[in-house]
Chains A and B, each alone.
Chain A
C-alpha cells in the first residue's frame, strides 16, 4: 500500500489498526468457512432429508390389466381405472372431533354408510396404517369426494374389470377377483400374461405443486399385455342364443356347444348353460361358472358309432359297400340283450350309421380286436387334453382293460363305458372332417396354422363323413340338423345318464357333426343335458340347435353352398335355395 495521497510523508500508517482490520476480516471469513463446512458436511444429511421432505414426492402409476379381445378385435374384457377410498386409522383417529365435522358426515353420505358405524369400524382397526373404506367407487362418487379433505383419508387408483359381452363369453373368459387376479377360465390361465405392474416415480414438486424434476424412476410401469382369442363374438352369440333357447324349451338342466374351425383347429365358439354374468359378483357359483364344454364328462352314446366305424375301416376288414345282417334286431350277449328299436334286416355300413343300429355296430365291434377300437379312439383325441391350457379341463376316461367281456365291447361301440368332454367330441369329428388330420385346438389366436398330424387315413375319414351325411337326409335320425343349401355330416346321440349303480331315467341329447360335408369347414357339437320335455332324442333336441348355429357360421364365413334343390343349378352362377328345412 503506497501512500501517495495529499500528504504522503506526514501521515504514517498506524500498523495495529491495519492488523486489527485484517484479523477481523479473516475471522469473519473463517467463521463463514466453518459454518459452510458444518452445513455441507456435518448437517448435510439432516438438511437434505428435510429439503426432500418438502419437495420430493413418490407417485404411483397405476397400470391396467391387459384387455381381452375376440379374433376380430372386439373387446371381451376391459379394465377401467376407478378409485378406492382408504383410511390410515392412526392418523384419522388422532382428532376425535372429526366425527362431528360437516366433512365427515358428507363423506358418509356419499358412500352411503352410517357415520357411527363407519367410525367404529375404523376405531376397531386403531393400530393399522391402511384400511379400505370402500372399493371401486363410481365416477359420480369420486367427483363428489374430491372436495372432501379429512386427515388420514385418501383415494387410491385401482381397476375394475368389465366384460361387455357378459354371460355370452363368461365361461371361456372366467373372471378376476377385486384385486385383479384371475380366478377362473382364461383370466386364470393367462393371469401372468395379463397382469400389470404398477410403476413408481420419484418427482420433485415446486411450491405450486408442479412436477419440475424426476430424479429417478423407482419402478417402471408395465401395463398388462392384451390377449387375442380365437373366439368369434358373432358366432359365440349365435351359439349362446340357440343353446339357451333349447335348454329353456326342453327344461334341461344344462347344455354345451362347441364350434371348431376344422382348417385351423381354432375354437370359434364355446358356450354353456346355465351361465352367469361376470360383472355381477353375486352370480359366481361353481355350478354356473363351470365351463362344462371342457370340464364335464358325458358318455357320448351313439355319437361314438362313426368313430368305431372308422376303426373298422382302418382295420382293413371292412369296406364301404359291405353288408351286415342285423336281423332279428336283437341278440343276447352273456345274459344281456343288445337291441335295435325295430328289425332293420340286412344293411350296408352307411345304413348302420344312418339308422344308428346298435346291433349292427356292435357286431362290427365284436369282430375287431379290442385295442383296435380303443387305439382309434385315442388317435381321435379321446383321453387327451385340448392343448389350450384351460384350467380344470378334463381329459376323459377310457377304461384301459386287459380283458373285456363281449357285452362291454358291444356297449362300448354305442358309447357306454367311455367318457369324454363335448370339446373332445367336436375335435374327434373335426379330425374326421379334415381327412384324418389332428390339429391342436386353440383358444388363443395363433400366428400360424399348425400343420397337424395325420392320425387316420384320408380315405377312412372321407368314407365315414359320407356315411354320416345320410343321417341328415331322408331316412336318417336327424333331419332337423339339415341346413338349406349345404350338406351336413353328423351323428345323433341319446345316452342314458349313469347314476350310482347303473343307468337312470335321465338322458343326454347330443348332436355332433361337420359341414359342408363335401369339404368340411366347421365341426360343431351340441349337448343338452337332461331334457325334461316329451322329446329327449338328440335328433329332436340338439339337432335344431346344430342346424341354426352351423348355418350362421357357414354364412358368416362365406362358405359356398354345396347342395341345391335341383343339382344342375349349382353349375350355374345362381342358386335358388330350397324352401324346405330350417329357419334361422
Chain B
C-alpha cells in the first residue's frame, strides 16, 4: 500500500514537472537558449584560440619566407653579377665581344 502510493506520487511528481514545463514553455526555452549561448561562447572562443594560434604560426612562416626571399634575391644577384658572368664567359666558355667587323646591323 505504502509502496503503491509512493510510486503513484513519483509518477505524479514527474507528471507535475512535465506539465509545469509545458505550461512554462517560454521559461524553458529561455533556459535552453541561455545554455546554448553559453556553450556557443565557449566554442567560439575555442575556435578563436585555434585561429589565433594558426595566425601566429602563419606570421612566423611569412617571416621565414620573407627571410628566404631576401637571401634568394641576394644570391641571384651575386650569381648574376656582370663581373661573374664576364669572367665565366671569357675564361670558361672562351667567349669574347663581337668585333665590329663581324657585326651585322638590321635597320627597319
Contact = CB atoms under 8 A, between A and B. Distances in A.
A575 interface: yes
A210 B53 contact: yes
A574 to B, nearest CB: 6
B104 A561 contact: no
B107 A570 contact: yes
Contacts of A570: 107
B61 interface: no
A247 to B, nearest CB: 17
Contact of A80 (B53, B67, B98, B106): B67
Interface string A565-583: 0000010011111110101
Select the residue from B48, B49, B70 with max chain A CB neighbours within 10 A: B70
Interface in B56-70: 56, 63, 66-67, 70
B17 to A, nearest CB: 17
Interface stretch (A172-180, A211-219, A302-310, A401-409): A211-219
Given A165-B81, A583-B97, A213 B67 contact: no
Interface string B56-88: 100000010011001101100110011100000
Contacts of A234: 82
Interface residues of B, number: 30
Contacts of B55: 211, 214
Contact of A78 (B63, B73, B83): B73
B52 interface: yes
A278 interface: no
A79 B70 contact: yes
Contacts of B23: none
Contacts of B67: 80-81
Interface string B85-108: 000000000000111110111111
B103 A214 contact: no
Contact of B106 (A81, A211, A214, A573): A573
A71 B48 CA distance: 45
A584 B82 CA distance: 15
B100 A583 contact: yes
Contact of B100 (A210, A237, A581): A581
B70 A78 contact: yes
Interface in A161-212: 162, 164-165, 203, 206, 210-212
A213 B105 contact: no
A422 interface: no
A435 B52 CA distance: 64
Interface in A117-137: none
Contacts of B97: 583-584
A75 B56 contact: no
Name the residue in B71, B81, B83, B105 with the highest tally of chain A Cβ atoms < 10 Å from its Cβ.
Answer: B105
A346 interface: no
A74 B77 contact: yes
Contacts of A581: 100
Contact of A237 (B49, B63, B82, B99): B82
A484 interface: yes
Interface string A210-239: 111110000000000000000001100110
A499 interface: no
B99 A583 contact: yes
Contact of B56 (A210, A485, A573, A583): A210
A484 B82 contact: no
Interface residues of A, number: 38
Nearest to A212: B49
A485 B77 contact: no
Interface string B34-64: 0000000000000011001101100000010
A576 B99 CA distance: 12
A203 B55 CA distance: 12
B103 A75 contact: no
Contacts of B81: 164-165
A59 to B, nearest CB: 9
A166 to B, nearest CB: 8
Contacts of A64: 66, 70
B28 to A, nearest CB: 26
A3 interface: no
A573 B107 contact: yes
A3 B14 CA distance: 19
A115 B101 CA distance: 68
A576 B101 CA distance: 8
B12 to A, nearest CB: 12
B53 A212 contact: yes
Nearest to A576: B104
Contacts of A1: none
B107 to A, nearest CB: 5
Interface string B1-25: 0100000000000000000000000
A577 B99 CA distance: 10
A529 to B, nearest CB: 24
A560 interface: yes
Contact of A162 (B74, B100, B101, B104): B74
Nearest to B75: A164
Nearest to B2: A6
A213 B67 CA distance: 25
Given A74-B77, A75-B77, A81-B70, A561 B53 contact: no
B105 A561 contact: yes
Contact of A211 (B56, B77, B103): B56
17 contacts: A6-B2, A75-B77, A79-B70, A80-B71, A81-B67, A162-B74, A164-B78, A203-B56, A214-B55, A237-B82, A241-B83, A573-B108, A574-B106, A575-B107, A576-B104, A577-B101, A577-B103
Given A80-B71, A164-B77, 18 more contacts: A6-B2, A74-B77, A79-B70, A164-B81, A210-B49, A211-B55, A214-B52, A234-B82, A237-B83, A560-B105, A560-B107, A574-B105, A574-B106, A576-B103, A576-B105, A577-B101, A583-B97, A584-B98
